Amino acid sequence: MATVVLVGTLDTKGAEYAWLAERLREDGCEVVMVDAGVLPPPPGTPAADLGPEEVARAAGHDLAALRSAGDRGAAVTAMAQGAERLVGELYRSGRLHAVLAVAGSGGSSIAARAMQALPVGVPKLLVSTMAGGDVAPYVGSSDVTLMYSVVDVAGINSVSSLILGNAAAAAAGMAVRHERVLAAPRPHGRPLVGASMFGVTTPAVDAARERLDELGYEVLVFHATGAGGRALEKLAAGGFLAGVLDLTTTELADELVGGVLSAGPDRLTAAGRAGIPQVVAPGALDMVNFGPRETVPERFAGRRLLVHNPTVTLMRTTAEEMSAVGTDLGRKLNAARGPVTVLWPLGGVSAVDAPGGPFHDPAADRAGLAALRSALADGPVELRELDAHLNDPAFAVAAADRLHQLITAHA
């Protein structure tokens, strides 16, 4: 039977979760209730399958101590950690085919942490009072589905019954389908390769993707906008990928210089930790990304800027910044447990970094290459310098062919 795991704070939302459990059972699903509330639930609240004591214990805390401390922030953080661990255990034991939560801000942060830790493809539905605003903290780089509660999660009424009823029906339907997918024999598909792309590196990634398709791979392309890089890292960490073609590492520049498209400090680490073969290039490291022209920080006054479109302004990286990025690139790749080849195009690293282009700066590019070469010296990573532009078809095909060689040798 398909099982829906309900993750909630029954000290404040007990009636709503009891109502949801009834709807899910009516739709033919088994229900597992996880109570991540800190305070005792009101009298008459149905007992959870995994109570707050177990949630706190899973995080290495004592519930009574959390209650007596009176620190709500610390308690919410602890219960979120415990919920994440218990929900993960339920999934690994085959007792989770979908997870559903309804919450305000605190409960949403608890449920979202548990949901984000589950693999991509596992149904995750969060009904939240916070879904009408900035939802990035609740989605992260996962496939969390958000539904705005419209009214506060404060009882079952003529409006909330419609919203929560739809949520229960959606979770039940997704759980039933997911259970069937897991039970069905899985056909042997083509190996998956993750590739990073930006507008200024599109020709290279398109040509490499065509070549990898000829070689028998399915290529998943991620737009290197911060969220895309984090999604690529998540799939690599989750064991989905046979290889990574990281031709567009521009997010490293945003992280180090202060642009708006950083993927965080862990970008370019997951595939290495997982031992996945990688081919990496300095695609679009010539730029740092900002919003509209007027949003570029004052500290960058006088820098070389390019208005890419009304909502995106690019700033050319200096030789010093390219050197720092090259060092960061080399340091991260040296830690990889799997085979890595770096291909550096001597003719330019993006569509605007070419002879006559607005960001053409061979000296800055050479500074990045020199720092990378120094960081990789005597390490296990192979560095190849190619007399081509990143977007030349020959460079793209060489990258695809090298990744195929690494994957084949690594199998």
Q: Would you say 325 and 252 are in contact if contact means Cβ atoms under 8 Å apart? A: yes
Element (H, E) at 53: helix 52-58
- DSSP characters for 121-158? TS-EEEEETTTTS--HHHHTTS--EEEE-SS-SSS--T
Distance CA 33, CA 324 (A): 49
Within the chain, which residue ranges are assigned CATH 3.40.50.12020?
3-183
- Determine the pLDDT at residue 187: 63
Average confidence (pLDDT) over 47-58? 96
Of the candidates 218, 274, 272, 264, the residue with the CA atom closest to the CA atom of residue 246: 272
* In the predicted structure, residue 185 carries a pLDDT above the cut 80: no
Longest dimension (CA), the chain: 74
Report CA-CA distances (Å) from 8 to 38, 53, 89, 235, 278: 11, 14, 17, 27, 40
Distance CA 62, CA 60 (A): 7
- Determine the pLDDT at residue 122: 95
- Determine the pLDDT at residue 188: 65
Res. 132 pLDDT band, cuts 50 70 90: confident
* In the predicted structure, residue 398 carries a pLDDT above the cut 80: yes
* In the predicted structure, residue 147 carries a pLDDT above the cut 90: yes
Distance CA 201, CA 22 (A): 52
Render pLDDT for 64-90 as a digit per residue (tens, 0 to 9).
999 999 899 999 999 999 999 999 999
Average confidence (pLDDT) over 297-311? 95
* In the predicted structure, residue 46 carries a pLDDT above the cut 90: no
- Determine the pLDDT at residue 278: 98
Query: Rounded to 5 degrees, what angle do the CA atoms 383, 384, 389 make?
Result: 130
Q: Would you say 115 and 144 are in contact if contact means Cβ atoms under 8 Å apart? A: yes
Q: What is the CATH number of domain 3-183?
A: 3.40.50.12020
- DSSP characters for 347-402? T-SBTTBSTTSTT--HHHHHHHHHHHHHHHTTSS-EEEEESS-TTSHHHHHHHHHH
Within the chain, which residue ranges are assigned CATH 3.40.50.12030?
192-410
* In the predicted structure, residue 290 carries a pLDDT above the cut 80: yes
Of the candidates 341, 334, 293, the residue with the CA atom closest to the CA atom of residue 315: 293
**192-410, what's its fold?**
Rossmann fold (3.40.50)
The radius of gyration computed from the CA coordinates of the chain, to the nearest angstrom, equals 24
Total-model pTM: 0.79
Cβ contacts of 52 within 8 Å, gap of 6 or more: 10, 11, 35, 36, 37, 38, 63, 79
* In the predicted structure, residue 137 carries a pLDDT above the cut 70: yes
Render pLDDT for 351-366 as a digit per residue (tens, 0 to 9).
999 999 999 999 999 9
Q: Work out whether strand 305-309 and strand 382-386 pair parallel, antiparallel, or are unpaired.
A: unpaired
The pair phi, psi for residue 386, each rounded to 5°, is -115, 135
The count of other CB atoms within 10 Å of the CB of residue 122 is 20
Average confidence (pLDDT) over 82-105? 96
* Average pLDDT along the chain: 95
Of the candidates 124, 36, 121, the residue with the CA atom closest to the CA atom of residue 86: 36
